[in-house]
Structure 1
């Protein structure tokens, strides 16, 4: 009985976070993303240690995008010859970013800047996708490995998968069709999250509170499975992205104000 009482108390005291994680998982998984940036934005407003925030976000990312990646693979949307250059640098550098020992102040400043960048990219993503049809930049292995490495390293430190950065870049460079870009971003998020999580696990400061973590993972598992099977028709995707961008930007400003001023 004490175990069930403890579980019930945890659910009741964290119902707002659990609800937000469920909504985020449904919405993000419907377009092939994991929702890491939004999970972190929510957790950054709690009293959790920043080391736990990163770990929980990555675990939830893995749970959500695993389903999306499986569906994309089943529909044969992966072009491995183009994906490998992105992955070959992102995975080891995501591991390195997760392994690095950083201070709480540095983490939150980097997080604030990352969230602001993510919000900007989400706000302008519709414009970028429209422009990409008219843009024909030369693709190269060097460019893709650079994208993968830089995004992977930052993602590992912050605790996200990096799809929020990769997808707009791929659209901007007319990398491939929108469906294949979504598939590639999903796989990219998965391997970066695994690499970053493994790096954090080997970090001496690694710690995680199992109860809330398992509850949130189970929550996003359900939300992610729902999201991968439906399309959001009640809200236009561009409006949804802009609304999310505003919320992430507000959290970013709040974090930066606290740790810079």
Structure 2
């Protein structure tokens, strides 16, 4: 458990330093540790909440959250995340979907984060249409979905880089809350108790890692290096998960 907690701390540090929660990688680490796949989303979503709650508050206090657009996207995604959490899924399907999500996550990490230096792209107004599918994926697999939303918002020149990061953080937080609620209702008290038993030390680890990542990492390492390192870690874990199925 000590090694797993250390791995969670490092993942939280890396993801928090680039504005995300790390839910997909938490899931994969638990799966590779032979934890019952049915409780993986419960632990991963709870860890997501711990990591992104602080950054969401900091963005809000700094006045960079574009509340109208961010709340619209989040309000559309949240009910879908709840339904995703309620959806039954077999182990092989879950692991395949998780592995694919990890590889896609790694690819999104490698996309450049461009500043918004012009008018929004023509498809920017269609961003609400992607919110529900991302929310459903978030709930069923145990991720926040913001890591997929953010690159789309950047490509659409939807808003400034800081506003997109703030939106992704809020998106992850709310989707994780709704997805977790669905997962708890689906699994019942027995799975919830098992998740708490395994997850408490991991929650402490990600709380520490998330704080270090959000407050310190960007002051000492270039963000590009952190993104590349996180992408490499995510891709490696995803490939291990898929090839080990």
89-98 vs 202-211, which deviates more?
Answer: 202-211
Matches within 5 A, 1:68-79: 68-79=55-66
Q: 2:68 aligns with which of 59, 81, 85?
A: 81
How far, CA to CA, are the matches of 2:239 and 2:14 in structure 1?
23
Distance 1:240 1:227, change over 3 A: closer
- Out of 66, 86, 89, which is 1:99 matched to? 86
**2:232 alignment partner in structure 1:** 246
Structure 2's unaligned 5+ residue stretches are none
TM-score, reference length from structure 2: 0.91
After TM superposition, list the pairs within 5 Å mapping 1:50-69 onto structure 2: 50-69=37-56
**In the alignment, is the contact (CA less than 8 A) between 1:131 and 1:172 conserved in 2?**
no
Report which stretch shifted further, 178-187 or 144-153: 144-153
1:96 Cα deviation from its structure 2 partner: 0.4
Note if contact 2:99-2:242 (Cα within 8 Å) is conserved in structure 1.
Answer: yes
Segment of structure 1 superposing worse, 104-113 or 26-35: 26-35
Q: CA RMSD in A?
A: 2.0
Would you say how many aligned residue pairs link Structure 1 and Structure 2? 242
| Structure showing the higher helix proportion among its residues | 2
Q: Which residue of 1 aligns with 2:21?
A: 34
Name the structure 2 match of 1:130. Answer: 114
Larger CA deviation: 231-240 vs 175-184: 231-240
Residue range with higher mean Cα deviation, 77-86 or 174-183: 77-86
- SS of 1:44's equivalent in the other structure is helix
Partner of 2:244: 258
In the TM superposition, residue 238 of structure 1 has moved relative to its aligned partner by 1.6
The 5-angstrom pairing of residues 1-261 of structure 1 reads 14-123=1-110, 125-126=111-112, 129-130=113-114, 133=117, 136-138=120-122, 141=125, 143-204=126-187, 207-208=191-192, 209=194, 210-259=196-245
Give CA-to-partner distance per residue, 1:34-80, whole Å, 9 cap, x none: 12122123222111011221111100000111111111111111222
Partners of 2:95 and 2:216 lie apart in 1 by: 34
Aligned-partner Cα distance in 1 for 2:97–2:52: 24
User: Structure 1 83/130 Cα, relative in aligned 2: closer, same or farther at 3 Å?
Assistant: closer
Query: SS at 2:210's partner residue?
Result: helix
Q: Deviations over 1:114-162 (max 9, x none)?
A: 1111111112x22xx2386578413555x22212111111111110001
